[in-house]
Structure 1
Amino acid sequence: MPRTHWRLLTLLLGLPWGQAAPTERHNWFNEPIVQLSSELPDCPAPDGPLLTEEQMRAQAHDRIERGTTCYLAHECRYANAYSYDPEIAEAARQRLQDKPLLRGSTLWLTVQRRFVRIEGCATSQRQLDYVARTLRGLPDVQQVEIYARVRLR
């Protein structure tokens, strides 16, 4: 791009001269993330579905392909596997939020293409096993992945 065009572009975007655009992260695909509990205050929040615009563009084609492949293989009722995600997230929230067994934990769920990712901190493996078992029993959940760690209070 010629130098004059670059100057005009940075001026129009309101960017300081010579500085690149920020790499802000957004939930571009509106994927559900649910916080189930929040009793361990020093447990770091997961990144969840936050992506830069560049990451979003890189994933867009694969997401379309994976989403429709499920339907074409007669493994999904909906034409896109990602269409299940809000329903799964809401069912998980209703089943698990405020459960006494989760006391002392800080846990999040992210749902993406019928896969549920558990992240955060638990006070026992029993808590994580309970959450995973409950999620596997929900309709349309294809896979449950645990990325949470067990920490004593």
Structure 2
Amino acid sequence: MLKKSVLLLILAYPVVAMCADKPDLQNWFNDPFFQVRNAIPACPVPLGPYLHEADIRQEEHGRVERGTSCWMAGRCAKPNAYMYDADIGKAVQDRFARSTGFAETSLWVTVKRKFVWVEGCVAGANQEAALQQLLQDVPEVEHVLVNVMQGTGNKPPYDVRP
């Protein structure tokens, strides 16, 4: 019996070691990511700004290029578009806090480079346009992307957290 246990441990070790070596997803750049509504409990949680450590280098390059191009084009007073994200995130949270709409939804928001992503589940088809309208005039926001699904019965139109 002891030999079988040792053999199982030896066979299982490579699988355990591979899982331990795989880094967890993290929000490496501290991009604003938060939930604003939670009425649909089975709604899949979006991946948001979470990355594996192996993806950081590629993301860093794009962030430098995209972030400074805003300033170089004269669209940003700050030297990098990502410097606006914390304030935009707070303004978006405030909009949702003041809004009585979207009570029957589960929604998450990601803010990156003056872009706002709203992802999650809604109860009605007309709520996508209403979300767009709620956030389109938040100061400093360049673009609002609404990726939601009605209910929870389909594959989400966004990447989900594992």
Deviation of residue 17 (structure 1)?
A: 7.7
Counterpart code for 1:64: V
Count of aligned residue pairs for this structure pair = 138
Identify the structure with bigger relative contact order (alpha carbons < 8 Å, sequence gap 6+): 2
Map 1:129-144; keep pairs closer than 5 Å.
129-144=129-144
Give CA-to-partner distance per residue, 1:56-102, whole Å, 9 cap, x none: 11110111111011101101111000011111110010011363211
Whole-Å separation in 2 of the counterparts to 1:79 and 1:50: 24
TM-score by length of 2: 0.78
2:88 corresponds to 1:88: yes
Give CA-to-partner distance per residue, 1:22-81, whole Å, 9 cap, x none: 231110000001211000000011111100111111110111111011101101111000
Whole-Å separation in 2 of the counterparts to 1:62 and 1:48: 17
Work out whether residues 111 and 117 of structure 2, in 8 Å CA contact, stay in contact via their aligned partners in 1.
yes
TM-score by length of 1: 0.83
Work out whether residues 131 and 146 of structure 2, in 8 Å CA contact, stay in contact via their aligned partners in 1.
no
Work out whether residues 96 and 131 of structure 1, in 8 Å CA contact, stay in contact via their aligned partners in 2.
no
Match of 2:147 in 1: 147
Work out whether residues 23 and 53 of structure 2, in 8 Å CA contact, stay in contact via their aligned partners in 1.
yes
Map 1:97-112; keep pairs closer than 5 Å.
97=97, 99-112=99-112
- Identity, % of aligned pairs? 34
Counterpart code for 1:23: P
Counterpart code for 1:108: W
Runs of 4+ deviating beyond 3 Å: 16-20
